[in-house]
Amino acid sequence: MNKAILKRNLSFSVGSNAISLLVSALMIFILPKIMLPDDYGGWQLYLFYFYYTGFFHFGWLDGMYLRYGGSNYEDLNKTLYGTQIACLIGLESLLAICIIIGTYIYITEPNLKFVLTAVSITGTLNVLRSFYTFVLQMTNRISEYAKITVVERILFAFAICTFAISGLTYFEQLVYLDVLVKIIALSYAVWVCRDLFQGLCSVAAVFSEIKSNILVGVNLMFANIASMLIVGILRFSVSRQWSLAVFGEISLTLALSSLLMVFINAISIVLFPALRTVDKARLADLYMKGRNLLMPILLAGLILYFPLSVVLKMWLPKYVDSISWMAILFPACVYECKMQMLINTYLKCLRQERLMLNVNLAAVFASAVLALITAYWLHNLTLIVLAMVTVFAIRSSVAEYCLSKILKVDVGKYLLVESLMVVVFIVCAWAIGDALGALLYSFIGGMYCWLNRDRIKHAYECIVCKSNKKTYER
């Protein structure tokens, strides 16, 4: 891909996700302040189930993304894509109706009944919008994708402000506003891609295309589902064993710890179609340079926990316990950022969806075992939080080890040192805390960066400064 285009796409993606970050921060800082703990827990329960609706296309969109990543928008068969849209609308509408009927027949708990009904509607809107954004991402129309993201996030920010100013406190009212936002965002996505629908093709042609997409995408879809279940199982255990208020506290901790993921997702969106055009012989070198620059940034970013925790404890005194748990869970963003930006991106580029699935399934099994021990046997919330970061660490390390074998690079010593840095952070943040913990981790982190200064400098020059210096020996 042309460097100018890559830079432009990256700037659009990062810019739109910067707005998403601000909205996420607004949601994290404002909603728990104005809502009662039970209502905030209800809102988090709604989000928890909503995130899984993105898989209701059964790998259809994932396969389309993998098969046509790096294509030109103008070269797409618009008739074929228009027919797929019509089929997707029919499928999602049928699923939504079935979920609503099943909910009213089998669910008796009022809050859960409302949540599942709302999720069936917003999930349908989300999948349909994802069809358009996937098309834009795979064809490198990142600016249009960014505009859709910005419109949705700005509308949601307006909805949060309306919710706060109007004195509303019930989570059901916020869900209604979210439904309205998603309707408008989908309408805008349809308008942006209005030329994508240019009539209908034959039934045989569209079903052959859908079948091909699902067969290719099903492994990636299950890998993504398994990825969400890693922490989802532990969160579900909390929702079953503790109150809605406690579930909200754990969810707040996760939300605070994953804010950095917004920027990482922005970069990974641009990287995948770009890497599809790169000579495979260069992938190993690019991977090592990427991780040599990314990991010091992520490990240094952990220092943000200390000032953030002080501010949050003053702003949200009702959630002091959950903010303390963030000392343990904050390093999870290190593993998840590396997983999403580097490991998963390269595995998709190398068409290793089956490997992604196997690694994630193993992590899901570990999560289930830990959930049984920590939630149902020991009934200990602190151990549940520790289990979350442990599973993230194991999943990331195993996946990177497998990828390193494919790329024929050695990352063993780096994984060990990075894991030690995470342990040091948890000790400094959880056991020591406050100013002393911050100073100690800053000193050790500074030593880490100084000892690796040559690798970091070289990676920076090659990636950021586009230097043509000779590649150093890994």
How many beta carbons lie within 10 A of that of residue 245, not counting itself? Answer: 16
Residues 119 and 178 in one domain: yes
- pLDDT score of 469: 44
Q: Which stretches in the chain have pLDDT values below 50? A: 1, 467-474
Residues 146 and 247 in one domain: no
Residue whose entry in the numeric block shows the structure tokens 């579930």: 247
Residue whose entry in the numeric block shows the structure tokens 């901790």: 253
Distance CA 435, CA 421 (A): 18
- pLDDT score of 259: 66
Residue that is last in its domain, among 201, 234, 261: 201
Note whether residue 208 is domain-resident.
Answer: no
Residues 336 and 437 in one domain: yes
Residues 49 and 180 in one domain: yes
Residues 6 and 85 in one domain: yes
452: left (phi over 0), alpha (psi -120 to 50) or beta: alpha
Residues 165 and 98 in one domain: yes
Beta strands in 184-249 (DSSP E): none
Residues 351 and 379 in one domain: yes
Residue that is last in its domain, among 145, 171, 201: 201
Note whether residue 209 is domain-resident.
Answer: no
Residue whose entry in the numeric block shows the structure tokens 């706060």: 164
DSSP 429: I
Note whether residue 207 is domain-resident.
Answer: no
Residues 270 and 315 in one domain: yes
CA dist list (Å): 78 to 70, 82, 127, 145, 195: 17, 6, 19, 18, 8
Note whether residue 257 is domain-resident.
Answer: yes
pTM of the model: 0.73
Question: Tens digits of per-residue pLDDT, 328-359?
Answer: 888 888 888 888 878 888 887 787 878 888 88
Note whether residue 190 is domain-resident.
Answer: yes
Quick check: 418 and 295 in contact, CB under 8 A?
Answer: yes
Quick check: 99 and 120 in contact, CB under 8 A?
Answer: yes
Question: Tens digits of per-residue pLDDT, 132-183?
Answer: 988 888 887 888 888 888 888 889 988 888 888 887 778 899 999 999 999 9
Domain extent at residue 41: 1-201
Residue whose entry in the numeric block shows the structure tokens 């959630």: 319
Residues 248 and 189 in one domain: no
Q: Per the structure, how many domains does the chain have?
A: 2
Residues 5 and 144 in one domain: yes
Task: List, in order, residues 6 or more apart from 299 with CB less than 8 Å away.
Answer: 334, 418, 421, 422, 425, 445, 448
Residue that is last in its domain, among 150, 174, 201: 201
Note whether residue 164 is domain-resident.
Answer: yes
Note whether residue 206 is domain-resident.
Answer: no
Tokens of 434: 């406050």
- pLDDT score of 119: 93
Residues 67 and 173 in one domain: yes
DSSP 277: T
Residues 447 and 329 in one domain: yes
